[in-house]
Amino acid sequence: MKWTMFAALLVCCFWILGACINSRLGRSCFEIATQCGFKEVCFKSEDFVLYGAVKTGSQTQDILTVYLEGDGAAWRRKGELACDPTPRQPLALWLALEDPSAKILYLARPGQFRKSKDPYCQPAYWSLARYSEKVVRAFVEIIDSVKKRMQVHKIGLVGYSGGGVIAALLAARRDDVVWLVTVASNLDHRLWCAEHKVTPLKDSLEPKEFGMKLKNIPQIHFIGGRDQTVSQEVVQSYINAMPDKKLIKIVVEDQFDHHCCWQKVWPELLKMIPGR
């Protein structure tokens, strides 16, 4: 069965996105992904419509690498939620395109890349409830479907920024995760909100509360030394809460910030992941 048929079974269709334009190339994000061997898919979970892309290589590989997008443009300005949280530059997608793995799933977050209004998705899901049980459950459902379709048994998780929080929460509830990688991620979002003096994400789950379920998963957390959005202290707070740290590694790229220059060196950074 082709991926187009698979997408139809999920009550979705392929579409060309015009809203997210790569300024350098002047083409839509998913058009670029298509040219890199991905196919654009939208998924219907029980609670959300989520957009993403898949790559299915011909190589025999028993692991699906899942990339999770960041929070995107959740706010127009301080105190005012955006109507559309689609990221201006979807870094998790750009990282996925640099990954040579044969089987990759890229997933955007609720509300991102919408072609039309989604009655299921309310602003709460890119604000106070952005890491809620309902959101995590949607990702679990979609990953299970893709994993079954690709006939793989293991997954690796890569989360950028807020996508790293989702990745950690997914890792805590799954038994098929072989590694967890985050990039510039606000893994202790309570501390992150306190640092930025913004409203706590009271309707969201906190990854560090699931330390016992995460302690046996190899983890690498990449931090930008010049990141003004997520401090090293936020990531360290998450790690300090883990009951066993022997499988956890922090890598600080001194010259990088929250966006630059992860894409440029991503193939090299991927080599640090055990088993790749």
Residue type, 33: A
Q: Which residues pair with 64 in a beta bridge?
A: 155
Residues contacting residue 229 through CB under 8 Å, at least 6 positions apart: 161, 184, 186, 257, 258
Kindly report, residue by residue over 191-236, the tens digit of the pLDDT: 999 999 999 999 999 999 999 999 999 999 999 999 999 999 999 9
Kindly report, residue by residue over 33-69, the tens digit of the pLDDT: 999 999 999 898 888 999 999 999 877 789 999 999 9
Kindly report, residue by residue over 58-108, the tens digit of the pLDDT: 777 899 999 999 999 877 777 778 788 999 899 999 999 999 999 999 999
Q: Whole-angstrom Cα distance, residue 129 to residue 203? A: 5
Give the start-to-end residue ranges of the domains of the chain: 3-270
108 within 8 A of 139, measured Cβ to Cβ? no
Compute φ and ψ for 195, nearest 5 degrees: -65, -40
CATH superfamily, region 3-270 = Alpha/Beta hydrolase fold, catalytic domain (3.40.50.1820)
